[in-house]
Amino acid sequence: MSCLPARQGAATSSTGSSESKRAIRRTRLRYHRAVRRRPRSHHGGQLGRAVLALALLVLPAAVAVWAVLPQGVSGRVTDVSGQPVADATVAPTDPLRLGAEAAFTDSRGRYRVGARGWPLNLNVSISAPGFAPARTSGGTLVLRRWALVTGKAVDDGGAAVEGAAITLVRGRQVWTAQTAKDGGFSLSAVGGGPGRAWLAVQAEYHDPAYASPKLALDGVLSFSMVLPRLVGSVHVVTDPAGLGASVDGQPAAQCPATPCDLQLGIGPHHLEFASDLYLPWAQDLQVDKGASVSVMAKMERKTGTLKITAPVPGEVSVDGQTVNSGAAGWTGPLPTGKHSVVFRSASTWPLQSDVEVTWKQTTESALTPAAVTPGDSAAFVQNLQSYLSRAGGSYGVYVESLKSGATVGAGQDSGLEAASVIKVPEALYLLHQVDAGQVKLIDEVDLKDGDFMSGTGTLFSTAHTGDKFTVQDLLTLLIRQSDNTAWRALDRILGIAAVDAFAASIGAPDCHQVSDNCTAREAGRMLSQLARGRLLTPGSTQLLMGLLETTVFNDRINYYLQGVTVAHKVGMDGGVINDCGVAFLPGDPLTICIFTTTGDPNLGVQVIRDVTRAAVHYYGH
C-alpha cells in the first residue's frame, strides 16, 4: 500500500509536477507487473481486481497533484453606487483549507486569494467597516452598508447642544453615541437588520427628543432633534443702566443693555459685566425650572487722577461741574475716560480742553488760556471772535464805555431775534408820550382777547378779558416780568408803527415790533442814551432805569458782577438768549448788549456771562 507524499507547503509548481510524473510512472509499472503475473483463465475476476488495484495506485498520485497545485479565487468589491471598497478584509470561509491567508482589497476594490484543500471550490468572506459582511466565490460583490442615522441636536433657541446622549434601539440591539461640539451626531447600526427603530436624544437641562427611524441597508437617515431648554427667568438691573451682560463667558443676545430679562436653562450660570469704564463684576446663579431670579449689579467706576495747572486763579469745571474756585488749578480723582475741562477767570478768556483719564494713572494738564489785555481792542476782538466761534451759534456783541464812548464788539450790526429786548423801544416810546402829555401813567387800559399771550409774565394766567390796568402797572409788568400780555396791550394802544418810527428816530431803525428783530448795537445805543438822560425827562428816566434795575431775571450780565447795579432787559425764546443793560461800574459805566442764538439756552446764558466779565476786565475794572 502506497502513502501520500508529505505536504510541502513551500514547494514550487515545477517541483510538484516532476514528483507527480514519477508517481504515475511507478503506478503504471506496478500495474503491468501485476497483470503479467495473473492467469489468463480467470480473466473476468482478474480484470475487476486489476481496475481496483489501478485506482488504488492512481488515487494517491492524484491527491498529491491536487495538494500541491494552488486553487484561487479573485474578484472586485463595490458599494451599491459602484464605487470600489478599499481595504476590505477577504478571508476563506470553508474548512480544510490549507495555506489560505486573509487578504485586503486594493484601492480599486480588487482582491485575489489562493488555498489548497477540499472541496475544489473556494468561498471567501468579505467585510469592511460600515458594511454588512457577505460571502462570494469570486467575481464582483456588492457590499451593503449598515443603516446610518445622522443629525444635529439643537435647543429651542437654535443653539447646538454638545454632549447629548444618542440612543438607537431595535429589538434587543442598542447603539449609542454623543453629540459633538456643533451638536452633530452619526451612528451606524452595525449588525442591525431592516425595520423600525427608536431614537432618543437626551441632554442635561433639556427636555428629550425622540424619533422613529426605519432602518434599511444602504439607508442614510438624518434628523434635526430639538431639545427644548428647561428654563427660568433672570431679571437683571445695573447701576448705572445701559450695560451689556455676558452669560457663561458669552455675550447675552437677550441683554445688550440693562435693565433686561434673560431666559436661561436650568442649572448653574455665570453672569458678568465688564467694560472699559467699570471694574469687572460677576455672580454665579442657580436657575430653577420656571423660577424667576432678580439680580442687581452695583458697578464701580475705574478711576484715575487728573492734575490741572493754570496761570492764574480761577474756576475749574469738569464735565460741567465746578470742582474748584479761586485756585490756580485742581487735582482730584475722576472716572476713567474722556472728560471736558473748562477754566474761567476774570483776566482770561474761557478755555475748554478734553483730557483722557486712565485707570490708576495721573494725567497732568497744563492750561494756557488767552489773557484779556486791558485797552488792546484788536486782541480783544480777535479773542472774542475765536471764543464765539468755538461756542457755535450766531451772536451779536456790543460794548460801550459811557465815560469815553469807546466801543468794541463782534456781529453787533447783524439783525438777530431780539426776543423781549424788543420791549425796550416800546417802554421808551410810552414814557416819551407820557413826557409829551399824550398818555398818563394813571390811564386805565382794558385788556382785550387779542392782548393775551403766553410765555413770560403773570397776566396771561391771572387776568381776564375786560380787566383794567393802569399804564404804569402795564409798564412795570412789561419791564420787571417781561410780561407778554402787557407788551401786546401797550402795542395796541400806542400803535406798532408809531413805536417802530420812534425807535428809528433814536438810532434803532432795525428794531421792529412785529418781526421782533434788532441789532446788538442799536439796542445797546438806546440804553446808552437812556442812561445819559438824552431820551426822556429825568423823572421818566429814573422810573424806567429803576424798573430795569429791579427785573426778576438776573442770571446773565449780573452773574459775575456781584455788588454792581445793572439796569437791563433780558430776552429768551427757545434757543434765543439775550441780555442788554448798563452796568454801573465805579468810574466808568458800561453798556453791554449781547444777542445769542444757539441750540442750547444754557450755552447762551454762559456766553453772556463770559463776554461780560471779559469786557469789564478789558475796560480796566
Query: Is the domain of 469 the same as that of 569?
Result: yes
pLDDT of residue 46: 57
- Residue 347 is part of which domain span? 312-366
Q: Give the Cα separation of 478 and 426 in Å (integer).
A: 9
**Torsion region of 392: left, alpha or beta (phi above 0 gives left; psi -120 to 50 gives alpha):** left
**Which grid cell is 482?**
417781561
d(CA 230, CA 248): 17
- Does 287 share its domain with 190? no
Examine the domain organization and report whether 198 and 254 are in the same domain: no
Q: How far apart are CA 575 and CA 56, in angstroms?
A: 132
- Is there a single domain that holds both residue 47 and residue 86? no
Helix (H, G, I), strand (E, B) or coil at 218: coil
Q: Name the phi and psi angles at 421, rounded to 5.
A: -65, -20
Based on the domain organization, do 466 and 528 belong to the same domain?
yes
| Residue 84 and residue 215 in one domain | no
451 lies in some domain: yes
- Statement to judge: residues 152 and 217 lie in one domain: yes
Domain assignment present for residue 38? The answer is yes
507 and 525 within one domain: yes
**Distance from the Cα of residue 237 to its chain's centroid:** 18
Residue 475: which CATH number? Answer: 3.40.710.10
The domain boundary residue, chosen from 268, 298, 328: 298
Which segments in the chain show pLDDT lower than 70? Answer: 1-71, 94-100, 115-121
Q: Does some domain include residue 552?
A: yes
Instruction: Look at residue 277 in the predicted model and tell me its pLDDT.
Output: 85
Q: Residue 283's beta-bridge partner residues?
A: 271
Q: Are 123 and 71 in contact (CB under 8 A)?
A: no
Q: What is the pLDDT of residues 300-335, one digit of tens each?
A: 999 999 999 999 999 999 999 999 988 999 999 999
Cα separation, 411 vs 409, in Å, equals 7
In a domain, 131, yes or no: yes
Q: What count of other Cβ atoms lies within 10 Å of the Cβ of residue 276? A: 8
The model carries a pTM of 0.61
Tell me: do 124 and 206 sit in the same domain.
Answer: no
Q: What pLDDT is recorded for position 16?
A: 42
- 415 with 527, same domain? yes
Can you give the pLDDT at residue 116? 52
Spatial CA neighbour of 171 closest among 196, 200, 149, 190? 196
Amino acid code (one letter) for 203: A
**Taking the CB of residue 44, how many other CB atoms lie within 10 A of it?**
6
483 and 407 fall within a common domain: yes
**pLDDT of the residue at 209:** 96
- The CATH code of the domain that includes 131 is 2.60.40.1120
C-alpha cell at 204: 442635561
- What is the rounded CA–CA span in Å between residue 66 and residue 60? 10
Q: How many domains does the chain have?
A: 6
Measured CA to CA, the distance from residue 395 to residue 384 in angstroms comes to: 11
Report the distance separating Cα 246 and Cα 270, nearest Å: 8
Q: Which of 227, 245, 273 is the last residue of a domain?
A: 227
Q: Which CA distances in Å does 188 have to 86, 185, 208, 212, 221? A: 19, 10, 21, 15, 10
Residue 325 in any domain: the answer is: yes
Asked whether residue 135 falls in the same domain as residue 250, the answer is: no
